[in-house]
Chains A and B, each alone.
Chain A
Amino acid sequence: MATTDIHIHQNVHQHDDHGHEHDEHHEGNFWTTYIFSQDHKIIAKQFLITGIFWALLGGTLSVIFRLQLGFPDMNLDWLKPVLGEWITAEGKLDPEFYLALVTMHGTIMVFFVLTAGLSGTFSNFLIPLQIGARDMASGFMNMLSYWFFFLSSVLMFISLFLETGPAAGGWTIYPPLSALPQAIKGSGMGMTLWLVAMAFFIVSSLLGSINYITTVINMRTRGMSFTRMPLTIWAFFFTAIIGVLSFPVLFAAALLLIFDRSFGTSFYLSDIYIGGEALAHDGGSPVLFQHLFWFLGHPEVYIVLLPALGLSSEIIATNSRKPIFGYKAMIGSMLFIAILSFIVWAHHMFVTGMNPFLGSIFMLLTLIIAVPSAVKIFNYVTTLWKGNIVFTPAMLFSIGLVSFFLTGGITGIFLGNSAIDIQLHDTYFVVAHFHLVMGSASFFGMLAGIYHWFPKMFGRMMNETLGQVHFWLTFVGVYLVFFPMHYIGIAGFPRRYYSWTNFETFSGFTDLNMLVSIAAIGTLIAQFIFLFNFFYSIWRGRLAPLNPWNSTTLEWTTPRNPGHGNWVGEIPSVYRWPYDYSKPGAKEDFIPQHIPYSETPESNLPHENELIKLETSNGEGAIIVEGNKH
């Protein structure tokens, strides 16, 4: 610890930060500091807290419908105080409300937790801190981004309390079901609120993404070339680009759906006879909506996943005390995944009646995406090899992420194959697949990120033991929830079924379904350990050292509670890549990015000694320095 401090003082001319802890140089009352703040760190925390709220709600909804699936005979009267009329007179969950639960669980988890909660928190928090910027390119836009998200959250939350219920046509809101209130109650006001909320959500996401991209391109500190950026930043950067390119398409899809619903157009509707009358809509195509939806929907998977992979890359390298293996290959595979993510969308649509030739093309492209994903897994495993692994809660969750990414990714090879997908499409096999590879993996990435950067966010440490207990319960719980679903899926059980008793073919597996439900309840309960740890540690946790994980990146050179502007005094310059862990010859097992090569002659590689000249001439030289050829 001591040596690190000395470096910090030498390079940053850092003042003693104790005097500045609570009143920074800028003016501000409670409202401008904590509510309408333009400080990226506060905004990140706002996203985080809102995300945690949604995660809890989304998880609770899933447990309610798991009660129905695992214990179909259970009397749910005790839920009446909360759910009211949605519990029928027989003490059962209303089948339509079941669909609403499924829909809202999906919407909340995909968009409000794993997009806004994950990207919103960590892109905001880490981009300026890790690239050495005082704040985002536009603090005001950043603030708007959160408040649009907040508005969207409020609308979505209100929709839960409508008498006709929230949207219930599945999170993919395929029309005509989502367009016709006579088809399902949730397609009335609930769907309207869903669409309006999502429109605001998209605005929020775009404001955020544009800001992230601009900040990464323009505001890196001296010496922070693209090839010296931590993988987290690369991941957020790609995520933001994907978001900017794909969310507008969802906006268009939603807008056309609003037209169809309210203004009598026929973009998605044709030849419909419902409720005793033939509708006037003619010439539309429901499949068009699916194309537009999945043009966002598939990149969305990577919007959710890439930040998690970025966070875990950083955490695994730090806690293995090793450079991430294949830094450039990791960037390359993320780039490749980002590009491919735009041209695989129709693998969600193999059996929608789409031209089978398109199916072949999309199958080809889809399976190609497995290659960069495999490269990432191999690189993680090699990073662990001959490391010196510290099992901090963040590291445990990152390991969990890799495990889920592997288990869930592998089933993607089945589903991406259109011939095999015929049978598996819309069965529990799909549910198992995406909950592991996208849901749980990203969720673990988010938790890992919280555990790892909590000291920087709140200046205090979370309790390690509680974090580890939380990990084991959640890790085992998630596997118990989703692994059995593979079997249920292979047996053909369709998704979004309220019960299977109407079918002889799907009459089995009451035992597995019960196991899944019990595990889901247990996993949800385990999250309260986290909640306790999180909120308790904000106020009562152990004071965090400046660099608790002996990490190399810039955020750990800031004061314990960085104020608006992040660094007191000059922003540190960057002289090396972010993964100089356990470098041969070095005194410590890490050399932070802001330590010049001239200070570490004992560990420099030959080409790094060359760079010393550039460092000493003047600081400007460092900007043009490229290259980390190890």
Chain B
Amino acid sequence: MMSLIIFLGVVLVLVILFLIFRLSTLVGIAKGKKESYVGENNGVHGVLFIVFTVLGLAAFFWYSYTYFDVYTLPIASEHGKRTDSLFWITMAVTVVAFVIISIVMFVFIYQYRYKEGRKAKFFPDNHYLELTWTIIPAIVLAVLIFTGLRTWNDITSPASKEAEVIEVIAQQFAWTARYPAKDKELGKVNYKLIDAVNEFGLDLSDKNSFDDFKSLELHFPVDEEILLKIRAKDVLHSVFLPHFRVKMDAVPGMPTQFKFKATKTTEEMRTETGNPNFNYELACTEICGKGHFSMRMPVVVEDRESYDRWKASQEAWLKQNPDYLKNVPAQLKEAAMIKAGLQKDPGAGVAAVKE
């Protein structure tokens, strides 16, 4: 019933609008206007453009100023400071250009609106003018390009040997992290070895894989170079750490990486934002299917000490899944048990596990 009333209401409004339209058309015909092809209300649009410019620019500046803290994310990485300053430099340059061009254009539109009897200026070209506005943008852009290039090259330069290596693995629709633990070397993986338990496809013939551990939270230390190794198991995903200005696709079949240095721990950020519940997050920014919007991984940044403590508290994947010891070549089994923390004392533990 309600929808019928709404429908009838809409029809009524449409009919009224149509009648108004017909009426105005007929009145127009009766008046016999249209001497000139320029409408009577031509000047109105010039005025409207000025109103639009003033209101539009006012809203732009008001919102940009008032809500600055709402739409800008605090920066928590070293290169983020550089890319953000580039962003704001570009913003300053382009806003100046944008405002000047907009105002000039809309003022011209207002000022030179049609007036009967006036003749427009025949001004087909002027090489100096054209040269000027080719060269000036070219110079400005050159400056922006070169500052951008330097930053980009620094960000994408190889990571140092000491960098803390962490692997992030994407799949529909979750993130997993793999840590190399004490040996600081991630074990080899092979996607053909992946199964319901061996999510990483860990290749247990590689001794570096024995102590690797899995985490559903991404932990990393502050003020140290982090090298994120990024991998995808099924489709494209993209690692996005908004506060760290980090983004890199996860590509099946092509491991990618991103190095960066965090500058603020989670605790420090809680103090800075005044939000005791603040948490860093990792999001997916490459369309990956139904659950794309829910691919979240909590991120914890801490100082070295608590990071080490956290690491020490994590169990090696092999320890959690001792069944997989059978995939370890015989001559490495002992080493595997020791590295995975399954047994302190070699020799005694094998029997215990086999039970």
Where the two chains meet, the residues of A that have a C-beta atom closer than 8 Å to any C-beta of B are 78, 95-96, 99, 169-170, 174-177, 180, 183-184, 269-274, 276, 278, 283-287, 320-329, 351-353, 356, 359-360, 363-364, 367-368, 370-371, 374-375, 377-382, 384-392, 396, 399, 402-403, 406-407, 410-411, 413-414, 417-420, 422-423, 425-427, 463-466, 468, 472, 475-476, 479, 483, 487-488, 490-492, 494-500, 502-506, 508-509, 542, 545, 548-550, 579, 581-584, 589, 628, 630
> 9 A-B pairs, CB-CB below 8 angstroms?
A270-B252, A271-B191, A273-B234, A351-B248, A353-B249, A423-B247, A479-B56, A504-B279, A582-B119
Q: Are B247 and A425 in contact (CB under 8 A)?
A: yes
Complexed CA–CA distance, A500 and B49 (Å):
36
Q: Are A494 and B284 in contact (CB under 8 A)?
A: yes
**A99-B287, A271-B252 are known contacts. Are A384 and B56 too (CB-CB below 8 A)?**
no
Contact string against A for B residues 39-63, beta-carbon threshold 8 Å, 1 for contact and 0 otherwise:
1011001101100100010001001
**A95-B291, A502-B293 are known contacts. Are A323 and B251 too (CB-CB below 8 A)?**
no
**A384-B112, A494-B283, A505-B73 are known contacts. Are A356 and B152 too (CB-CB below 8 A)?**
yes
Of the candidates A180, A353, A497, the one whose C-beta lies within 8 Å of that of B234 is A180
Residues of B within 8 A of A388 (CB): 112, 114-115, 118-120
| B98-106, B179-187, B202-210: which lies at the interface | B98-106
**A272-B252, A410-B98, A503-B281 are known contacts. Are A177 and B235 too (CB-CB below 8 A)?**
yes
A10 CB to nearest chain B CB (Å): 23
Complexed CA–CA distance, A322 and B123 (Å):
7
Contact string against A for B residues 64-107, beta-carbon threshold 8 Å, 1 for contact and 0 otherwise:
10010011110000001011101100110010011001101100
Nearest-neighbor residue (CB-CB) of B156 within chain A: A356
Residues of A within 8 A of B114 (CB): 388-391
Complexed CA–CA distance, A421 and B242 (Å):
12
Known: A351-B248, A353-B256. 8 other contacts (CB 8 A): A278-B191, A278-B194, A286-B254, A326-B124, A356-B156, A403-B105, A418-B148, A463-B25
Q: Which 4 A-B pairs have the closest CB atoms?
A: A270-B253, A356-B156, A353-B256, A386-B121
Contact string against A for B residues 236-273, beta-carbon threshold 8 Å, 1 for contact and 0 otherwise:
10101011011111011110100000000000000000
Q: Are A490 and B71 in contact (CB under 8 A)?
A: yes
Q: Is B352 an interface residue (CB 8 A)?
A: no
Residues of B within 8 A of A396 (CB): 45
Q: Are B38 and A390 in contact (CB under 8 A)?
A: yes
Q: Are A417 and B86 in contact (CB under 8 A)?
A: yes
Q: Are B155 and A176 in contact (CB under 8 A)?
A: no
Q: Are B124 and A420 in contact (CB under 8 A)?
A: no
Q: Are B152 and A323 in contact (CB under 8 A)?
A: no
Q: Are A177 and B153 in contact (CB under 8 A)?
A: no
A432 CB to nearest chain B CB (Å): 12
Of the candidates A95, A324, A488, A582, the one whose C-beta lies within 8 Å of that of B290 is A95
Q: Are B145 and A375 in contact (CB under 8 A)?
A: no
Nearest-neighbor residue (CB-CB) of B290 within chain A: A96
Q: Are B120 and A387 in contact (CB under 8 A)?
A: yes
Complexed CA–CA distance, A386 and B64 (Å):
34
Of the candidates A284, A378, A503, A581, the one whose C-beta lies within 8 Å of that of B120 is A581
Q: Are B71 and A583 in contact (CB under 8 A)?
A: no
Residues of A within 8 A of B284 (CB): 494
Q: Is B30 an interface residue (CB 8 A)?
A: no
| B134-142, B305-313, B314-322: which lies at the interface | B134-142
Q: Are B290 and A391 in contact (CB under 8 A)?
A: no
Complexed CA–CA distance, A296 and B38 (Å):
43
Nearest-neighbor residue (CB-CB) of B296 within chain A: A502
Instruction: Bin the interface of chain B by size.
Output: 35 or more
Of the candidates B120, B137, B290, the one whose C-beta lies within 8 Å of that of A374 is B137
Residues of B within 8 A of A406 (CB): 98, 101-102, 105
Q: Are B38 and A495 in contact (CB under 8 A)?
A: no
B345 CB to nearest chain A CB (Å): 37
Q: Are B235 and A183 in contact (CB under 8 A)?
A: yes
Residues of A within 8 A of B254 (CB): 270, 285-287, 353
Nearest-neighbor residue (CB-CB) of A545 within chain B: B37
Q: Is B324 an interface residue (CB 8 A)?
A: no
Residues of B within 8 A of A169 (CB): 287
Of the candidates A271, A379, A423, the one whose C-beta lies within 8 Å of that of B245 is A423
Residues of B within 8 A of A630 (CB): 124-125
Complexed CA–CA distance, A351 and B238 (Å):
9
Q: Are A367 and B151 in contact (CB under 8 A)?
A: no
Complexed CA–CA distance, A545 and B94 (Å):
44
Complexed CA–CA distance, A373 and B284 (Å):
33
Nearest-neighbor residue (CB-CB) of A468 within chain B: B45
Q: Are B130 and A466 in contact (CB under 8 A)?
A: no
Of the candidates B25, B108, B248, the one whose C-beta lies within 8 Å of that of A381 is B108
Residues of A within 8 A of B283 (CB): 494, 503, 505-506
Q: Are B87 and A414 in contact (CB under 8 A)?
A: yes
Complexed CA–CA distance, A386 and B112 (Å):
6
Q: Are B285 and A371 in contact (CB under 8 A)?
A: no
Q: Are A491 and B72 in contact (CB under 8 A)?
A: yes
Residues of A within 8 A of B151 (CB): 419
Q: Is B5 an interface residue (CB 8 A)?
A: no
Q: Are B235 and A410 in contact (CB under 8 A)?
A: no
Complexed CA–CA distance, A328 and B124 (Å):
10
Q: Are B83 and A328 in contact (CB under 8 A)?
A: no
Complexed CA–CA distance, A592 and B147 (Å):
50
B69 CB to nearest chain A CB (Å): 10
A16 CB to nearest chain B CB (Å): 23
Residues of B within 8 A of A359 (CB): 152, 156
**A391-B39, A418-B152 are known contacts. Are A278 and B192 too (CB-CB below 8 A)?**
yes
Of the candidates B97, B253, B277, B285, the one whose C-beta lies within 8 Å of that of A272 is B253
Residues of A within 8 A of B38 (CB): 390
**A381-B108, A389-B109 are known contacts. Are A422 and B123 too (CB-CB below 8 A)?**
no
B172 CB to nearest chain A CB (Å): 7
Q: Are B94 and A413 in contact (CB under 8 A)?
A: yes
Residues of B within 8 A of A402 (CB): 105
B116 CB to nearest chain A CB (Å): 9
Of the candidates B98, B115, B119, B129, the one whose C-beta lies within 8 Å of that of A589 is B119
Q: Is B201 an interface residue (CB 8 A)?
A: yes
Residues of A within 8 A of B293 (CB): 95, 496-500, 502
Q: Are B287 and A399 in contact (CB under 8 A)?
A: no
Q: Are B133 and A363 in contact (CB under 8 A)?
A: no
Residues of A within 8 A of B194 (CB): 273, 278
**A327-B124, A388-B119 are known contacts. Are A413 and B144 too (CB-CB below 8 A)?**
yes
Q: Are B72 and A329 in contact (CB under 8 A)?
A: no
A606 CB to nearest chain B CB (Å): 15
**A176-B236, A463-B25, A479-B56 are known contacts. Are A417 and B45 too (CB-CB below 8 A)?**
no
B40 CB to nearest chain A CB (Å): 10
Complexed CA–CA distance, A285 and B254 (Å):
7
Residues of A within 8 A of B153 (CB): 356, 360
Complexed CA–CA distance, A322 and B121 (Å):
7
B90 CB to nearest chain A CB (Å): 5
Q: Is B292 an interface residue (CB 8 A)?
A: yes
**Which parts of B225-239 form the interface with A (CB within 8 Å)?**
230, 233-236, 238
Q: Are B236 and A326 in contact (CB under 8 A)?
A: no
Residues of A within 8 A of B346 (CB): none
